[in-house]
Structure 1
Amino acid sequence: MSEHDFDIAIVGGGLVGASLALALAPHWRVALLERSPAPQPSHAEQDWDNRVYAISPGSQHFLRRIGGWPPVRPGWIRKMDVRGDGGGALGFDALDLAVDALAATVENRSLQASLWQALAGQVSILCPAQLQSVQFAGDAVSLQLADGVTVRARLAVAADGAQSWLREQAGIAFQRQPYQQRGVVANFHCERPHGDIARQWFRADGILAYLPLPGNRISIVWSTDDAQAEALLALSPAELAAKVAAAGGHALGALDVITPAAVFPLALGRAERVWAPRLALIGDAAHTIHPLAGQGVNLGFGDASVLADILNQAIGRDPGDAALLARYARSRAEDVLRMQTVCDGLQKLFSPQRPKLGLLRNLGLNLVDHAGPLKRLLMQQAFR
């Protein structure tokens, strides 16, 4: 058995965990523990990841600052076209904020590979690492791995997702409210150029979003009930492409499937607290939201950015100091609550189970579209 000592051990090497490790690397001894094999970049023309994220300008700035941007193949959202289920419409344009783009669209695999390449030689990476147990003591955390290695750190960070093992081991409760919906994702080649426009339809059978990718390609997220999700997964590639094209009013002409459909459950989730002695939670380990606004990963990058700034301003102190962790929790509480409340409210407002709200929700979209100051405020909050 061997033992390794660090200042900070991050459990979970996904986008959020890797970005935190990279942000902390210049100032602390950092270990990154990831259970899956190291991500590998792919440059094949037709090899696309069906997990695509809309990265906000603030998240892009954070990633540039730490050296984890750009990924290999970013796309851009310069406009948004949102349609209700009864004539409501709302449009956003980057020009209204005097910026080049509202967000960048990035494949998960591409951005993760970019972050891991930047991490090389900067932190100690244990991968694949199978955690067996954890012990929280007064001055340190001990993480025992299946291969006999023990990692000791003064602070552990749970970045291991919504089903966080480390959060569970620490006894932190996680309140999960399922939406009784699943998100169906897939990528398509489109007949007509998307014009760097993200499109979203609030439909009777769920919420459908088109995200522009480089070239004549889009990624879709269709948030719908379990039965519809199963039906979509059962379609042949040609049938799925026709169904998605028709649901979007053939806005981009005919579609051809690039990647097969995949599905994930949707739920609103909140950890009862985002820190405990010697432990901090970030990303989906701390909170989950509905994907209709595409803000889940941006909330995670916000966690990583704030926690890194707090710790990097406390060099020489104990990184597991309760005062630092409490400051992190206070700093993130408002942003997370606001985004969860907005996304949850929109999901409920446009839920097929609430048809009587149809007039109100479509009228609301039209009113916001014509209310310049309010619309600008919404854009500043959503795309900051």
Structure 2
Amino acid sequence: MQQFDLIIVGGGLAGASLALALRNTSLSIALVEGRAPVRPAGWDARVYAVSPANAEFLDEIGAWRHLDTSRIEPIRSMAVAGDRGGRLAFSAYESGVSELGWILESALMACEFWEGLKRQSNLTLFCPACPAAMAVDADRAVLTLDDGRVLGGRLLVGADGRDSWVRQSAGLAEAVTHYGDKGVVANFETERPHAGVAYQWFREDGVLAYLPLPGNRISIVWSTPNEHADALLDLAPDALAARVAEAGGGVLGDLSLLTPAAAFPLRLIRVPKTVAARVALVGDAAHGIHPLSGHGINLGFQDARALAQLLQQASPWQDIGSERFLSRYQRMRKEETLLLQQTTHALRGLFASRLPGAAFLRNAGLGLTDNLSFLKNALVRYALGYV
């Protein structure tokens, strides 16, 4: 058996960022991942909005400064539209910041993280490798890999996504709400420049977002009922581009498809307990939210940041795998996670509702928020990650 202080199962963005955040510690770390990330030939259709607070975190772990800036687009403003005329706008300039966030390809971050991991002296990579069995005793977690190797660690972290094997194996229950929607993603070239504006439309057929990419390019996320999502996926490239352009009111002119459309099911995943003896969850293993807020990966990065800080501050005599110690991490992350889950779930329900008066309420709410500067500024501060 190979012994470590920390075993991380899952080398995606949350798990890799946690490992990198601990690169200057004395902790011995094992990272278990099924396959290393690869860059697609063109633009990755899976993109994320990274908040300024999380950009600072990525800089702290040595990744942000090495990212290819030609593949990153700052968000200068946001324009939100309801389905009955409601409007809400956010501006970086009016909020006193240089940008509201950045749009990055998932693969861009993942590959840069991986380069850092390969150079990390206190880390052992097990890739390709998959967990086969785990057991927890009084002083360690024992992980058996599918090739028969056995790893022991004082703490095992599940960073293995929404269908987390670690979560299931540790008996940490989850409550899943299936929305009956899918998130359709694709990248397009635009006829007119987007000027760093991120657009979002709350429509009768779901929520459509245009996310700015470098040059005259955008990435879209269309959260829509399964039947409509499947119909979008079945469209020919030109027909899909025309449909997406029409749904956005032609705000950027004609569109041309750059990457094939793909879709993923949308679920709300609540995990009441994200820690147990010798086990902690981060990222999508610990929570799942609707993508309309754009905060999914930001939550995951803040999980990694909080857990890394807790481990760095631990005294030598402390047992980093004890549930009592790990409960501090759970408390640190509970409020933000619960707030975002409840908010996005409520917004999704409000804009999906066909009850009498719902359309008036949701669009009036957008307009009221747009006219209350103190409320807008509070929302912007929260989106930036500084509240």
Q: TM-score, normalised by structure 1?
A: 0.96
1:298 aligns with 298
In structure 2, the partner of 1:340 is 341
Segment of structure 1 superposing worse, 67-76 or 50-59: 67-76
Deviation at 1:180, TM superposition (A): 1.2
Aligned residue number for residue 66 of structure 1: 61
**Does structure 2 conserve the Cα–Cα contact (< 8 Å) formed by 1:157 and 1:279?**
yes
Shift of 1:323: 2.7
3-state DSSP class of the match of 1:96?
A: coil
Identity %: 49
Shift of 1:41: 3.8
SS in 2 for 1:287: coil
Whichever residue aligns with residue 30 of structure 2, its letter is A
Deviation at 1:315, TM superposition (A): 4.7
Counterpart secondary structure, 1:97: coil
Structure 1 CA distance for aligned equivalents of residues 315 and 90 of structure 2: 42
Q: Which moved more, 1:71-80 or 1:360-369?
A: 71-80
Q: Does 1:118 align with 2:119?
A: no
Q: Which amino acid aligns with 1:318?
A: D
Question: Paired residue for 1:375?
Answer: 376
- The one-letter code sitting in structure 2 at the alignment partner of 1:342 is T
- 1:80 corresponds to: 78
> Is 1:18 equivalent to 2:16 in the alignment?
yes
Q: Could you tell me how far apart the structure 2 residues matched to 1:17 and 1:144 are?
A: 19
Gaps (5+ residues) in structure 1?
Answer: none
Superposition pairs of residues 265-304 of structure 1, within 5 angstroms: 265-304=265-304
What displacement does 1:352 show? 4.7
Alignment equivalent of 2:48, drawn from 41, 53, 56: 53
Q: Distance in 1 between matches of 2:189 and 2:346?
A: 32
CA distance in 2, matches of 1:166, 1:24: 21
Answer yes or no: is the 8 Å Cα contact 1:208–1:220 preserved in 2: yes
Q: How far apart are residue 119 of structure 1 and its match?
A: 1.4
Q: Summarize deviations over 1:135-185 as a string: whole Å, max 9, x none.
A: 111100111012121111100000001100011011111100111111100
1:173/1:272 contact within 8 Å kept: yes
2:167 aligned with 1:167: yes
The one-letter code of the counterpart of 1:13 is G
Deviations 1:178-209 (A, max 9, x none): 11111100000101000000000000111000
Hey, which bits of structure 1, 4+ residues long, moved more than 3 A?
Answer: 352-356
Q: Which runs of 5+ in 2 are unaligned?
A: none
Code of the residue aligned with 2:222 in structure 1: it is W
Q: Equivalences for 1:184-203 in 2 at 5 Å?
A: 184-203=184-203
Q: For each residue in 1:294-350, what CA deviation from the matched residue of structure 2 results, as whole angstroms up to 9, or x when unmatched?
A: 001101111100010011011523221323201001111111111111111111111
Corresponding pairs, count: 378
Q: Which amino acid aligns with 2:33?
A: E
In the alignment, what sits opposite 2:31? 32
Query: Which residue identity does 1:307 align to in structure 2?
Result: L
Q: Tell me, in whole angstroms, the C-alpha distance in 1 between the residues paired with 2:192 and 2:88.
A: 22
Q: Does 1:350 align with 2:351?
A: yes
Q: Is the 8 A contact 1:31 1:125 kept in 2?
A: yes
Structure 1 vs Structure 2 CA RMSD: 1.1
Query: Could you tell me how far apart the structure 2 residues matched to 1:310 and 1:96 are?
Result: 36
Preserved CA contact (<8 Å) 1:311 1:324: no
Counterparts of 2:53 and 2:179 in 1: how far apart (Å)? 28
C-alpha deviations, 1:5-50, integer Å up to 9, x for none? 1100000000000000111122111111111x211345x5xx1111
CA distance in 1, matches of 2:383, 2:339: 11
- The structural deviation recorded for 1:272 is 2.5
Amino acid at match of 1:53: Y
- Alpha-carbon distance, 1:356 to partner: 3.2
In 1, distance between residues paired with 2:64 and 2:356? 43
Question: TM-score normalised to the size of structure 2?
Answer: 0.96
Which amino acid in 2 is paired with 1:63?
A: L
Q: How does 1:234-273 map to 2 (within 5 A)?
A: 234-273=234-273
CA change 1:238–1:355 in 2 (3 A) is farther
